[in-house]
Structure 1
Amino acid sequence: MTKSYLHTPALHILTRTDISDIELPPAEVIRLVEDAYRYYANGASRCPTKLMMPLPKEERDAVSYSMLGYDGALEQLGFKTSYRQGNDNAEKYYTTISLYDDTTGLPFALMDCQRIGGSRTPATTAIIAKYCAKENPESVLMVGTGAQGVNTLAYLLTALPSLKTFRLFGTHPDGIALSLSTFVKYFPDRTIELVDDVPEAVSQSDIVVAASGRAAHPKIQTNWLPAGGLLISVASKGVEAGALHQADYAIATNEGQMGVTGKRLAGEGQVASIDAELPEIVAGRKPGRRSKDDRVFAFSSGMIITDIPVAHAFAMRAISAGRGTRVELWK
């Protein structure tokens, strides 16, 4: 589709339902997100640090944040907002993204961002594993079965065909079922082992992904990993404070955002510092690890430069299919 549909200032409003059945294969999402990191590393994109604000409500746990960014590949600007009432309450989590076309100066889309986050987050996890796991990893443990985790094992196997053993820890039956069915959808000949002893499973896994909320398991420590292991924290409360300093090599998607949302991982009285940012690694400027035996810790925080191309891909497919509502707010 050309950009002729942007002939007047208007928003295509796309609901969660409008994009719920739009299919983006894992390999395509991984490619979009990896390219986004590369463009950012090369200076073609912009991504200021996330703005995060806890709300002054003593009687409940709530937080809001926003991100602004520019994708130099698509020449699209994006603005993402999120609000969560209750830190682990999926039913009270609302997130949207709006896109603007920098070649025309006109608005493009306003859409629900749940599906986008559920696609770009596992893509980022897969890219971290691709560059930072030891050579030819064979085993992975996924901890958590929420919206950010159900696609992860399928994305990891897409990026790392050497993987043979897949382990999963979760406490929510619906999330476990969805994680299993999603994996089988893409890899019907593979199976997932459900585990209940997280420390033991960590010690046996080359890659560990922690995406649990208020965890019903012992908090994961980097030093539980086997030699050469990789621990990826996806904004997880299931990772022990101080896990960053237990690592032989530490990375983050963005060091500034880690200072906003991941300070506790440095440990009490410690400063959160890393060896490399993921975009630098993808661009070939920094290594993903120093040696085959390094225990690597990776902090994954969402960057809107990765939301923009995924949101754009969903929007283009939805609009082409006649989905959504076109609203001319400025007429």
Structure 2
Amino acid sequence: MMQKPAIHILTRKDLSDIELPPLDVIGMVEDAYRSYAQEASRCPTKMMMALPDAQRDAVSYSMLGYDGAIQQLGFKTSYRQGSESAKKYYTTISLYDDTTGLPFAFMDCHRVGGSRTPATSAIIAKNCAKENAKSVLMIGTGAQGINTLPYLAAAIPSLETFRLFGTHPDGIAASLSTFARYVPERDVELVEDVPAAVSGSDIVVVASGRASHPKVQTSWMKPGGLLISVASKGVEDGALSQADYTLATSEGQMGVTGKRLAGDENFAGIDAELPDIVVGKKPGRRSQDDRVFAFSSGMIITDIPVAHALATRAISAGRGQRVELWK
């Protein structure tokens, strides 16, 4: 008998304790970039829309994509009311199985973003940091930042010094707890002087919003440094133009959400996209002394495999609800 069309609905609670080790997530995301670079996947530029009421400070966006590595199609939506608060930020993803032609899951995407984003930062760092990088600074302790240091530790064994700047006590505590869980042999140094910490670190990841720190400039980096902006408001306008080598996860999406980083100059493009670096079509840097700037913007092709892995494990554990929407 033909299977009836149904979708599994999974809540944030259903997914909260599903285990996905950092190296597993990094591998999934790498495979997604590799499939895209080999033209087996599709990922149109995200559609972003500011709402008319400026006083409400709300924004929404959507992404559609297909991951050829696991043959799943995904549709992601996000809405945020107020750019400084995570309390009114809602994001979901729907998955469809292209092998069966059936819907698969509709789920909260908070956990997905909190896993694939640090995986992307780790992949950028693995491919674009200078050889034998020893130190990393993480700026930001929100959902996108909590997992970043342990993911970097997994991807780059040479790292010895881990620094963190944050302003929210709960976020700092969660970041330290997560790091201790995965990297018990290392400590995290909490910093207060952001410019000094940036200039003393080989890798800097900025995932802060309108935070209380000086906006990071590429020129603060020492020769050979790597600055990764996770679509962050904590990076100064013009950071792109200050770099010796520039890359983005997607040049098209950078034109939507990161154009200000080119400063007053006309945007002349970047040197490479991350998927091409992953498959070896482009280098991660030209020399060991280059100051490299990387713009990380979420691509749904990286959401899809992480969401699928979480959903598969949750469903196997009896989580969620199976709903026949089309009966």
Question: If the TM-score is normalised by the length of the shorter chain, which range does it land in?
Answer: over 0.9
How far residue 58 of structure 1 moved from its aligned partner, in angstroms, is 2.3
How far residue 103 of structure 1 moved from its aligned partner, in angstroms, is 1.1
Q: Which residue in 1 is equivalent to 2:130? A: 134
Q: For 1:320, which of 308, 311, 316 is the aligned residue? A: 316
Partner Cα distance (1:125, 1:88) in 2? 22
1:63-82 equivalence runs, <5 A? 63-82=59-78
Q: Which residue in 2 is equivalent to 1:330? A: 326
Partner Cα distance (2:54, 2:28) in 1? 41
CA contact (8 A) 2:238 2:262 kept: yes
Partner Cα distance (1:187, 1:134) in 2? 22
Matched, 1:295 2:276: no
Over residues 3-37 of structure 1, what are the superposed CA-to-partner deviations in whole Å (9 max), with x where a residue is unaligned?
A: x9x92200100000000000000000000000100
CA contact (8 A) 1:11 1:108 kept: yes
Output the amino acid matched with 2:34.
Answer: R
Q: For 1:241, which of 215, 237, 244 is the aligned residue? A: 237
Partner Cα distance (1:12, 1:23) in 2? 19
Partner Cα distance (1:103, 1:233) in 2? 36
Secondary structure (helix, strand or coil) at the match of 2:94 reads: strand
CA contact (8 A) 1:263 1:272 kept: no
Secondary structure (helix, strand or coil) at the match of 1:95 reads: strand
Matched, 1:183 2:179: yes
How far residue 272 of structure 1 moved from its aligned partner, in angstroms, is 5.2
1:57-136 equivalence runs, <5 A? 57-136=53-132
Q: Which residue in 2 is equivalent to 1:13? A: 9
Q: Which residue in 2 is equivalent to 1:250? A: 246
Matched, 1:26 2:22: yes
Output the amino acid matched with 1:299.
Answer: F
Matched, 1:46 2:42: yes
Partner Cα distance (2:36, 2:293) in 1? 22
Over residues 94-147 of structure 1, what are the superposed CA-to-partner deviations in whole Å (9 max), with x where a residue is unaligned?
A: 000000011111100000000000000000000000000000100000000000
Q: TM-score, normalised by structure 2?
A: 0.99
> How much is the aligned-residue C-alpha RMSD, in angstroms?
1.0
Secondary structure (helix, strand or coil) at the match of 1:90 reads: coil
Q: Which residue in 2 is equivalent to 1:157? A: 153
CA contact (8 A) 1:19 1:314 kept: yes
How far residue 239 of structure 1 moved from its aligned partner, in angstroms, is 0.3
How far residue 91 of structure 1 moved from its aligned partner, in angstroms, is 0.5
Output the amino acid matched with 2:19.
Answer: E
Q: Which residue in 2 is equivalent to 1:174? A: 170
Number of aligned residue pairs: 327
Q: Which residue in 2 is equivalent to 1:199? A: 195
Secondary structure (helix, strand or coil) at the match of 2:54 reads: coil
Partner Cα distance (1:131, 1:185) in 2? 25
CA contact (8 A) 2:78 2:89 kept: yes
Partner Cα distance (1:50, 1:312) in 2? 20
Secondary structure (helix, strand or coil) at the match of 1:243 reads: coil
Q: For 1:281, which of 263, 277, 290 is the aligned residue? A: 277
Output the amino acid matched with 1:184.
Answer: A
Q: For 1:311, which of 307, 316, 322 is the aligned residue? A: 307
How far residue 60 of structure 1 moved from its aligned partner, in angstroms, is 1.4
Q: Which residue in 2 is equivalent to 1:55? A: 51
Counting aligned pairs with the same residue, the percent is: 78
CA contact (8 A) 2:167 2:211 kept: no
Structure 2: gaps (5+ residues): none
Partner Cα distance (2:195, 2:20) in 1? 34
Output the amino acid matched with 1:266.
Answer: A
Secondary structure (helix, strand or coil) at the match of 2:83 reads: coil
